[in-house]
Structures are given as structure tokens and as C-alpha cells.
Amino acid sequence: KHYMTRIYMYTPNLHTGHGPFSHCFDEFAPPGWCHEHASVSIFDYLIRANDLTPVLKSKGGLGEEEIHLVKQLILGDQAHAPADFTWNSPPPLKSFLYDIVANHRSGIDVDRMDYFQRVYIPLSIESTDNMVYKSLTPPPTPLHNTTPGLPQLGHQQAFDADRLLMASRVCFVNGSWRICFKDKEVWNVAEFFHTRYSLHKKAYQHRVSTVISCLLMDIMRAADPHLHFTGKEGRLCTMSTAAAEM
């Protein structure tokens, strides 16, 4: 039960530190800033500002040690932790928790599986050819397969998340407990990485997406000297320096 409570706590807090325009802001923010660090700071602030420590202890059985573990799960591993963050080596029995949402060991986690589904749905509503005919009634037979995938990008999703999750087990490997998959799912694991590669190649890092990201950063840099926010101790800060005022 306490394991599930930790997962429920850190899953929604994983991306709370994202700035405007998501990963574009990571490039705009000061060097050394990253949204995982901001997520931990926001998580800290929410607990402190709302005096949640006694509530988490009484309702969820989570003390300071468990709350600190949640912060470590958000960061993923020690290499991604802030310089002033105290990293406690997790007990072997809890090491598999790091594989669930933000897996820095194999890269296979439910966060990526989730955005596969969220991205595929809006991108697969209609193909480029169908858009030409969308005003016709009744619509003609689609020229391309409209099952979930990226028809206008020439890719259909073959990765089966439900099947892979059903084939997963927690196993003892090299001195720690890890989430592992049945060997017959090797094709599905390969499709996981192929799907991620295809999304980056044909959508996220497509030349048009990259150009738009660069334009957004130019806009933010041009607006930065003119936008001021109230930071710590009431001092004014710009949008770029506000990222560190948490």
C-alpha cells in the first residue's frame, strides 16, 4: 500500500516543473536549470505551504524518509540531482520503484507509454488525404488506415503497452530488484524504442517543429527584459531568472 502511495504521489509531480512551452523553456532558462529540479522545488513548496507533513504521515503513512524517496523518484538518479541534494541509496527491495515512471536505466517506463498514446490520438484523427474531403457529406472511404498511429507521418503504432505491462515482473538482478519482461516480448520492446524514435524523427524534432521552437525562444528572449515577476523576499526578477526563484 505504501509503495502505491509513493507512486501516486510522484507520478503527477514528475512534470509540474515544466515552464511555458515545455522543453523550449529548458533551453531558455539559465544554465544548469532543468524541470526535474523545479518539480522537486514545487513539491517541497506544496508540502511546506499547506503543512501537509502531518497529514501525509497520518493518512498515507509517509514520513520524512518516504517523502525524500518521492523526490529521488522524480529526479530519477543521483546524476540528475541538484548539487545540494542529499541522495540516499535506496534499499534493494525498493529499487524497482525507479523503473516505473521515470526509468533512467532502460528508458522503458509508463511516462513514455502514456505520451505515446496521448500524442498518437491527436495526430491520427485524420490523414492528409482525408482532410481534403472533410467537408463532403457523406465522407468517402479513407485512403489510408485511420487506426491509432501516425498516418500522415507514414507510421502506424505497433507497440502494445498493455501486453508489455502484463508480461512484466519484478525480478532480482545483479543485487537489486528490477522490472523485467518476458523474453518473448523482445519484439514489443523493440517496437517501444522504434515508436519513440519515429515520434522524435517525424514529429518532435521535425524541421518545422524545430523552427517553431526556435521562434518561440526568440520571442521569450525578446520579452524577457520587459516582463517582471515577484520572486523570493519580494524582489523583482525576469522570466528567465524566475525559474530559480522557487
Contact 236, 230 (CB under 8 A): yes
DSSP 77-146: SGGGS-TT--PPPPPGGGGGGGGTSS-SSSS--HHHHHHHHHHHHHHTSS-HHHHHTTTSSSPPPPSS--
SS3 168: strand
Q: Which of 35, 37, 194, 206 is catalytic?
A: 35
Q: Are strands 155-156 and 149-150 parallel, antiparallel or unpaired?
A: antiparallel
Helix, coil or strand: residue 171: strand
Give 181's strand partners: 168
Strand partners, 25: none
CA distances from 205 to 154, 195, 199, 213, 217 (A): 16, 14, 8, 10, 15
Do residues 54 and 27 touch, judged by C-beta distance below 8 A? Answer: no
Active site residue 80: no
Q: What's the CA gap between 244 and 29, in Å, rounded?
A: 9
> How many CA atoms lie less than 13 Å away from 14 in the CB half-sphere?
17
**φ and ψ at residue 214, rounded to 5 degrees:** -65, -40
Q: Which residues are catalytic?
A: 35
